[in-house]
Chains A and B, each alone.
Chain A
Amino acid sequence: DVKVTQSSRYLVKRTGEKVFLECVQDMDHENMFWYRQDPGLGLRLIYFSYDVKMKEKGDIPEGYSVSREKKERFSLILESASTNQTSMYLCASREDRADTEAFFGQGTRLTVV
């Protein structure tokens, strides 16, 4: 069974903390993504990576950075967490083909207080 695993289901952090969200996939997929999901706004792409050490900004990269040192792992970093980054974060991976679906992790609900 294919798997995308996010390190935490729920996370509470303080304003100003550095936050790491980890995502691991076991499907040898080239492409990995971080999305943010907020009510009424759908899924918005933060960053994606199409290969190891390669990354591209999505639609809302401000306040975030990413790291992909190994093919299976894609980390989202909040350099200095702020309350407006309270959200649901979804990681996904996909083969590098136009007709294939993305596989998602279970999501991390982050609350910044």
Chain B
Amino acid sequence: AQKITQTQPGMFVQEKEAVTLDCTYDTSDPSYGLFWYKQPSSGEMIFLIYQGSYDQQNATEGRYSLNFQKARKSANLVISASQLGDSAMYFCAMREAYTNAGKSTFGDGTTLTVKP
């Protein structure tokens, strides 16, 4: 079974609107971290936001927030006030503290297109 599932291959959003990118994960490790990365067409992966499994509050970084629902094993990325520069591929990743030797597992990605 896939450890990280991103069910939306492509998403469209109007400029200045909010958008939610879905991510569900599968782990039996009690301690893990969830990460979101952005990959523009230039190719470089850019870290956006981190959520630890023991964090009580949802992580926020500027216009990015992570809607963490631990019981449902979901870690959706919310981008508020979308900008044209947000058009990119977005990857959800998980790092388990004990299993999988601490390596990160990535989802297949979601391509976001922001319309003017």
Contact = CB atoms under 8 A, between A and B. Distances in A.
Interface of A: 31, 33, 35, 40-43, 45, 48, 56, 58, 88, 90, 92, 96, 98-99, 101-107, 109
Interface of B: 4, 9, 31-33, 35, 37, 42-47, 50, 52, 91, 95, 97, 101-104, 106-109
Nearest to B55: A99
Contacts of B43: 88, 106-107, 109
A88 B39 CA distance: 13
Contacts of A92: 45
Contact of A102 (B9, B31, B47, B101): B47
A101 B35 contact: yes
A106 B44 CA distance: 4
A103 B45 CA distance: 8
Which of B47, B104, B109 is the most central at the interface, judged by chain A CB atoms within 10 Å of its CB? B104
A35 B44 CA distance: 13
A41 B108 contact: yes
A40 B110 CA distance: 10
A30 to B, nearest CB: 11
B106 A43 contact: yes
Mostly, the A contact residues are strand
B62 to A, nearest CB: 15
20 contacts: A35-B106, A41-B108, A42-B4, A42-B108, A42-B109, A43-B91, A43-B106, A56-B101, A58-B103, A90-B45, A92-B45, A96-B102, A98-B32, A98-B33, A98-B52, A99-B52, A102-B35, A104-B37, A106-B44, A107-B43
B50 A42 contact: no
B45 A40 contact: no
A106 B42 contact: yes
Contact of B91 (A42, A103, A106): A42
Given A56-B101, A90-B45, A104-B44, A98 B95 contact: yes
